[in-house]
Amino acid sequence: MSPLDTATTSSPATSIVPPPIPPDDPEAWYAPDVRDQRELHPGVVATIREKDDDFHYDVRTPVLGARDERALVRIREHFATANLRRPLTREGAVECVERGFDPKYRRAIDRLTDLSPDGRRRVEYHALAELLCLGKLTPLALDDHIEVADAAGDRLVVHTENYAPADTELSADADYLARFASERVETHTVTFGSFRIPVVIYREHLLGTDSFATK
């Protein structure tokens, strides 16, 4: 019997459900293994759980219904041949999610979908992650508590400000991993003929690879 069941069937003197407390408190009966939980973006929630001698990092993204899924398929097919550029760094991914689709792409999505405001927000998040950001690594890029990524094993491991190492369900060779593990140091432009070319200086924070630290 759960504490809630006990609370509703006990005598009046003991029928009060314990008040909410932080999930990392040892007295938090409702989430005994949760050490940290935060919303990174509307509908995107990161959770760190303690598992035996280590931690596990999990992320929940907006759940799509059947109608949402069909809309996402139409968007994916429409943009399949488009020349879309992904960000080189985590900062770029965060800016992309905050900015959303450019107006011309948004107008195309308007033609392709007929969703409620909530459905539109769910679908746009997933479309941004797939088409313009870092795929499955997009929600992790939104978490500014992640400091280092470790790709030495089969699964990606992250080090956060307070919990490390924390295993994830993602492969150590996940798409766009180097971009996810990169911190933007500087941006500027250089002139080549009549063109102004953007340049990004970034530093990788990826353990388990032989890559140069700064590029």
Q: β-strand 206-207 against 146-150: which pairing, if any? A: parallel
How far is 51 from 71, CA to CA, in rounded Å?
37
Quick one: pLDDT at residue 23? 63
The pLDDT value given to residue 51: 84
Higher pLDDT, 79 or 183: 79
With beta carbons less than 8 A apart as the criterion, state whether 126 and 61 touch. yes
CA distance 201 to 177: 17
CA distance 84 to 81: 9
Residue 33's pLDDT band (boundaries 50, 70, 90)? confident
pLDDT attached to residue 52: 82
Question: Does 211 score more than 80 pLDDT?
Answer: no
Torsion over CA of 121, 125, 127 and 131, rounded to 10 degrees? 150
Which stretch of 17-21, 64-68, 102-106, 176-180 has the lowest confidence by average pLDDT? 17-21
Residues in the chain: 215
Structure-token pair, residue 135: 């795929």
User: In sequence order, which residues have a C-beta less than 8 Å from that of residue 125 and are 6 or more positions away?
Assistant: 41, 42, 43, 44, 61, 62, 97
Is the model's pLDDT at 101 over the cut of 80? Answer: yes
Question: Residue 29's pLDDT band (boundaries 50, 70, 90)?
Answer: low
Q: What angle do CA 11, 15, 17 make, to 5 degrees?
A: 165
Number of helical (H) and strand (E) elements in the chain, helices listed first: 7, 9
Question: Does 10 score more than 60 pLDDT?
Answer: no
CA distances from 135 to 5, 22, 131 (A): 41, 31, 8
pLDDT digits (tens, 9 = 90+) for 143-194: 999 999 999 899 999 999 999 999 999 999 999 999 998 888 898 999 998 9
Q: Give the percent of the chain with pLDDT over 90.
A: 64
Average pLDDT, the chain: 86
pTM across the whole model:
0.80
Beta strands in the chain (DSSP E): 34-41, 44-51, 54-60, 146-150, 155-160, 166-171, 182-192, 195-204, 206-207
Q: What pLDDT is stored for residue 210 in this prediction?
A: 61
